Amino acid sequence: MSKSLVEENRELKQQIKALKEQVNKLTAIIKLQQNQMFGKKTEIIESVVDGQQSLFSDDELDQLQDSNVSITEVIEKKEKQVVRHRKAKVSGQRTAFLDGLPQVDETIHLTNTNCPKCHEQMKKIGKHLYSREVRLKPAELYCANLYQESYKCNDCDEDGKDIIISSQMPQSLLPHSYISSSILAKVAEYKFSLA
């Protein structure tokens, strides 16, 4: 029994020794690769190939390769005054773009058409174009014209003024922009999936 333990102990020591040697070899390889990747590099100008002319004379090449000589050259830079002329915005591009797309009219209806004061049924007096936005159906781009309905109560008026109530319009994603959530979602999807 003690003989097997001694043999097992010897085998384990040999394995430990072999593993230590392997760790030392791998550590040396890692240090060498780190030195190659991140170590200091010297810039040595190689000799010119036979038959090809050099940009520098032999004296200049010797000076550049000599590490004791430091060459500094002072160059005066004249600052140029750059005047940028901003182009005036061309008006009508947005309208022309939106008019060129297929048009879809959508009306946002008032949910409750009863007067908030007297609770009588109000009469529709009209609708107006509230905003325009570009929307995207898969493989189709179209312009949705959002109309806001307005209602007037025939029964009540305060101090000779009509009571007019308009439907609540959805808030646009980006103020003063015709980009809708469908376009922005597709742009984000393409940005991340297609890089």
Token reading at 3:
């003989």
DSSP string of 66-85, one letter each residue = -TT---------PPP---PP
pLDDT digits (tens, 9 = 90+) for 97-116: 888 888 989 888 888 888 88
C-alpha to C-alpha distances, 12 to 1, 2, 22, 26, nearest whole angstrom:
17, 15, 15, 21
Q: Encode pLDDT of 111-140 as tens digits.
A: 888 888 888 888 888 888 888 988 877 778
What is the per-residue pLDDT for 65? 62
The pTM (predicted TM-score) of the whole model is: 0.39
pLDDT along the chain (195 residues), means of 10: 83 95 94 82 59 64 60 65 77 84 88 87 88 83 88 78 84 84 86 81
Domains of the chain: which residue ranges? 102-193
Query: For residue 19, what pLDDT is reported?
Result: 96
pLDDT attached to residue 44:
58
CA–CA separation, 126 vs 121, rounded Å?
15
